[in-house]
């Protein structure tokens, strides 16, 4: 079961109150900038992790973003592959058995629910770097643990873009090989990583290891596709383009 650090208490807790229990993931975004997008990206990955664990999720959003930026926030979030959150203006807990998790910037104001903090993002210029492929930005936002401040500069974005290009080409090639299931030990490593306080960098490390491992190529394909259910990086996008 997914366990997360509640920043209010400093304790690891179960993300759901019970197996297959309903979880409310409530994102709070105070401004349209890279930190706000990191909050939404982390909330989106949290939703994906819970759904992979068979927990139904009620995803809601409270936004203090000025009206002039609200549409741009929604467009940017959609470009990052963040599924829509229901607009909501309170953080009531809902049914008694529901766990409410607030995803917010480390300096944000919560309401007393479980607090899932996201460290700030520093950029070179402008609130949000423009990218031809927004998934470059998504990977860059996920590159460090959510509780670590992130510097989002040209080098970080270029590295993310290079990694995605290489992985997508590899996945497209592996897709032409005989299919093999995700190895049990790989599935365990991936699940252990993301169920430990949503440690996405550890998930990425498993993919880096697999890239040059002796795991059968068909199994590598299935493993990357499985991990991408959580990551949302469109790793299978180039299938059919391999020569």
Clarify whether residues 189 and 106 are in a common domain.
Answer: no
What's residue 94's pLDDT?
57
Q: Within a domain: residue 191?
A: yes
Give the chain's length: 243
Clarify whether residues 104 and 61 are in a common domain.
Answer: yes
SS3 11: strand
Residue among 117, 108, 112 at smallest CA distance from 100? 112
Selected residue with higher pLDDT from 54 and 68? 54
SS3 231: helix
In which domain, by residue range, is 191 found? Answer: 160-231
What's residue 224's pLDDT?
98
Q: Into how many domains does the chain fold?
A: 2
Residues 237 and 226: beta-carbon distance below 8 Å: no
Query: What's the mean per-residue pLDDT of the chain?
Result: 91
Clarify whether residues 111 and 164 are in a common domain.
Answer: no
Clarify whether residues 171 and 110 are in a common domain.
Answer: no
Percentage with pLDDT > 70 across the chain: 93
Q: Within a domain: residue 226?
A: yes
Q: Within a domain: residue 122?
A: yes
Selected residue with higher pLDDT from 23 and 130? 23
What's residue 34's pLDDT?
92
Clarify whether residues 22 and 60 are in a common domain.
Answer: yes
pLDDT band at 63 (very low <50, low <70, confident <90, very high): confident
Q: Within a domain: residue 209?
A: yes
What's residue 90's pLDDT?
56
Percentage with pLDDT > 90 across the chain: 74
Clarify whether residues 84 and 164 are in a common domain.
Answer: no
Q: Residue range 199-217: average pLDDT?
A: 97
Structure token digits, residue 83: 């599924």
Q: Within a domain: residue 207?
A: yes
Residues 48 and 229: beta-carbon distance below 8 Å: yes
Q: Within a domain: residue 215?
A: yes
Count of H helices and E strands in the chain? 7, 9
Residue among 175, 211, 205 at smallest CA distance from 190? 205
What's residue 57's pLDDT?
96
pLDDT band at 144 (very low <50, low <70, confident <90, very high): very high
Domain boundary among 101, 120, 152: 152
Q: Within a domain: residue 238?
A: no
Distance, CA of 80 to CA of 42 (rounded, Å): 11
Q: Within a domain: residue 187?
A: yes
Task: Examine the pLDDT at 11 and tell me if it is beyond 90.
Answer: yes
What's residue 93's pLDDT?
53
Domain boundary among 117, 152, 187: 152
Centroid of chain to Cα 209: 20
CATH number at residue 214: 1.20.120
Q: Residue range 213-219: average pLDDT?
A: 96
Q: Residue range 44-63: average pLDDT?
A: 95
Clarify whether residues 101 and 167 are in a common domain.
Answer: no
Clarify whether residues 89 and 205 are in a common domain.
Answer: no
pLDDT tens digits, residue range 108-129?
Answer: 888 888 999 999 999 876 667 7
The pTM of this model reads 0.93
Residues 102 and 116: beta-carbon distance below 8 Å: yes
Clarify whether residues 128 and 168 are in a common domain.
Answer: no
Clarify whether residues 68 and 188 are in a common domain.
Answer: no
């Amino acid at each position: 079961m997914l366990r997360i650090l509640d920043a209010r208490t400093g304790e690891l807790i179960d993300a759901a109150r019970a197996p297959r229990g309903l979880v409310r993931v409530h994102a709070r975004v105070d401004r349209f900038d890279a930190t706000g997008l990191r909050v939404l990206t982390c909330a989106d990955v949290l939703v994906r992790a819970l759904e992979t664990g068979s927990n139904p999720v009620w995803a809601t959003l409270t936004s203090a973003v000025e009206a002039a930026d609200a549409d741009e926030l929604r467009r940017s979030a959609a470009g990052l592959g963040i599924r829509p959150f229901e607009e909501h203006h309170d953080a009531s807990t809902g049914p008694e058995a529901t766990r409410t998790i607030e995803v917010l910037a480390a300096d944000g104001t919560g309401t007393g629910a479980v607090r899932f903090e996201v460290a700030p993002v520093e950029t070179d210029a402008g609130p949000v770097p423009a990218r031809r492929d927004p998934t470059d930005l998504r990977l860059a936002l996920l590159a460090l643990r959510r509780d670590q401040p992130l510097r989002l500069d040209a080098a970080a974005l270029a590295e993310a873009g290079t990694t995605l290009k290489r992985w997508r080409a590899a996945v497209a090639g592996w897709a032409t090989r005989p299919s093999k299931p995700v190895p049990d030990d790989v599935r365990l490593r991936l699940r252990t990583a993301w169920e430990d306080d949503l440690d996405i960098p550890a998930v990425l490390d498993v993919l880096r290891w697999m890239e040059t491992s002796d795991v059968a190529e068909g199994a590598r394909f299935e493993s990357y596709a499985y991990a991408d259910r959580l990551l949302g990086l469109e790793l299978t996008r180039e299938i059919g383009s391999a020569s």
